Structure 1
Amino acid sequence: MIPWENLDTASIPGDGGTLRLRRRGTEFSIMLGQNELMNSRLSGSEEALATLACGRIASRKAPQVLIGGLGMGFTLRAALGTLPPGAAVTVAELVPAVAAWARGPLAGVFSGILDDPRVSLREIDVARAIAERPAAWDAILLDVDNGPDGLTRASNDRLYDAAGLGAARAALRPGGILAVWSAGPDRSFSRRLHDAGLSVEEVSTRANGRKGGARHVIWLGVRSGRG
């Protein structure tokens, strides 16, 4: 078996630990400690995050989408494939090295999607991006942890608590969608979404799409009203 090769490391701001980019043949992996955050062979649930949310707003005129976390670009690619030509997609990525990997060792995985004219990549905390533009987004997609807790950074908890969900709701246009990816279920999070004033749908999806794999969860929280 081909051994894993460590390509690079990157510190997560705010004492969030160290990310490791690894390669084994044509396969790539991003690790945080012993936790694998993403793998280039498993993209189904990240793609579902985008298609489930963006499919519901694709008929809007010039929809505005915020994606929290660049990762390996699977969510971004699926969003671009779902959204119309007039859409605008902002990706908030906190770790500069992750953005650099996208144009370096992971360039083959990204296949030029960052050059799509609809895309804007910002090196910013997604919580700040949410707070700075009220009622601006048709969809906010969060894939910055392994679920609604601060695995990569303890401060990410604020994205998922009552205040954070309230801020996300305020940042959505009427009828806008907050979509959150998770490695597993969390009943208390569904309640928090509801308490934040969002209608909630919980969707089970597979890590590798139709090919199977582990079951992941996507929450869709919709702000009432028409966009």
Structure 2
Amino acid sequence: MSAPYDIPEPPEILDRREGPYGEVVLRRHGGLLQIIANGCFLMDTSDGRSERLLVDAALAALDARVTGPRVLIGGLGVGFSLAHAAGQSRWGRITVVEREPAVVEWHRTGPLAGLSARALADPRTEIVETDLVAYVHETCDTFDALCLDIDNGPGWTVTEDNGGLYAHAGLTACARVLNPGGVLAVWSARPSPEFEGTLRNAGFRQVRTEEIPVARGVPDAVHIGVRPG
């Protein structure tokens, strides 16, 4: 008698909210936690290498003479970038901008707390609940690094409003919140040579891309640029 086929378990919905920018869902699939926004898969807890590289690449590109650099992380997600930054003693202040109140709550008191509790308790950490696109246009704060991970990449945004962030005007706003010599690091689900050109046209220097191989498909990527001093 042949063995029965293994039928994968369907994802378990842990929470579903109507947020200010549409529906956000936290679900468990096997041993993974996943965040879905408006039906678009954003991220899960399977790996985290590329999110950690986002922070590492920004720190490595900074002038070593900068003491206590301030980093702005765009997007809390499942917390990999925040947790990694909080684990590095060199960062002086860690500000995370997250526009979905549900995501913040999932980290503070929900299923994602185990990934980020220590980082949230770090006195250097500040969570700002607002839209990053508006924040980079309006804030008076400046930073030494901006680690941007609010979409699946420059050409694959969660909402249409985010698209302008990766164009010339949006990148100019990102540069506005960076100190001279500050680093912009942008996460993407695939490398984008076109975005490298846009970074250069927006005035960024030392533009490069680091790739992270994945099990299947094209590699993840981190695009890096430095605001001139």
Identify whether the pair has TM-score above 0.5, normalized to the shorter chain.
yes
Identity within the alignment, %: 39
What's the counterpart of residue 191 of structure 2?
185
Matched, 1:113 2:112: no
Contact (CA 8 Å) 1:54, 1:79: kept in 2 or not?
no
SS state of the match for residue 87, structure 2?
helix
Deviation, structure 1 residue 13: 2.6
Deviation, structure 1 residue 61: 1.6
Deviation, structure 1 residue 134: 5.5
1:173/1:135 CA distance change after superposition, 3 Å: farther
Deviation, structure 1 residue 186: 1.9
Matched, 1:76 2:82: yes
Provide the C-alpha distance between the structure 1 equivalents of 2:13 and 2:63, rounded to a whole number of angstroms: 39
What's the counterpart of residue 219 of structure 1?
223
1:155/1:34 CA distance change after superposition, 3 Å: closer
What's the counterpart of residue 22 of structure 1?
27
Matched residue type, 1:187 = P
What's the counterpart of residue 195 of structure 1?
201
Provide the C-alpha distance between the structure 2 equivalents of 1:58 and 1:31, rounded to a whole number of angstroms: 37
SS state of the match for residue 131, structure 1?
helix
Q: Higher RCO, 1 or 2 (CA under 8 Å, sep at least 6)?
A: 1
Provide the C-alpha distance between the structure 2 equivalents of 1:219 and 1:62, rounded to a whole number of angstroms: 23
Matched, 1:102 2:107: yes
The farther-off stretch of 146-155 and 32-41 is: 32-41
Which of 145, 170, 175 is residue 181 of structure 2 equivalent to?
A: 175
Deviation, structure 1 residue 174: 1.0
Bigger Rg, structure 1 or 2: 2
1:175/1:213 CA distance change after superposition, 3 Å: farther
1:206/1:76 CA distance change after superposition, 3 Å: farther
1:198/1:58 CA distance change after superposition, 3 Å: closer
Deviation, structure 1 residue 146: 0.2
Q: Detail structure 1 runs of 4+ shifted over 6 Å in the superposition.
A: none
Which of 91, 95, 106 is residue 90 of structure 1 equivalent to?
A: 95
Alignment of 1:20-169 (within 5 A): 20-57=25-62, 59=64, 60-84=66-90, 87-103=92-108, 104-133=110-139, 136-149=142-155, 151-169=157-175
The two structures have a TM-score, normalised by structure 2, of 0.87
Contact (CA 8 Å) 2:19, 2:102: kept in 1 or not?
no
Instruction: Give the total of aligned pairs.
Output: 218
Matched residue type, 1:36 = F
Contact (CA 8 Å) 1:55, 1:82: kept in 2 or not?
no
1:28-51 CA-to-partner distances (Å, cap 9, x unmatched) read 111235532111112111111011
Provide the C-alpha distance between the structure 2 equivalents of 1:3 and 1:23, rounded to a whole number of angstroms: 9
The two structures have a TM-score, normalised by structure 1, of 0.88
Deviation, structure 1 residue 128: 2.5
Structure 1: gaps spanning 5 or more residues? none
1:67/1:218 CA distance change after superposition, 3 Å: same
1:132/1:62 CA distance change after superposition, 3 Å: farther
Structure 2: gaps spanning 5 or more residues? 1-7
Which of 10, 22, 25 is residue 17 of structure 2 equivalent to?
A: 10
Provide the C-alpha distance between the structure 2 equivalents of 1:135 and 1:107, rounded to a whole number of angstroms: 28
1:197/1:135 CA distance change after superposition, 3 Å: farther
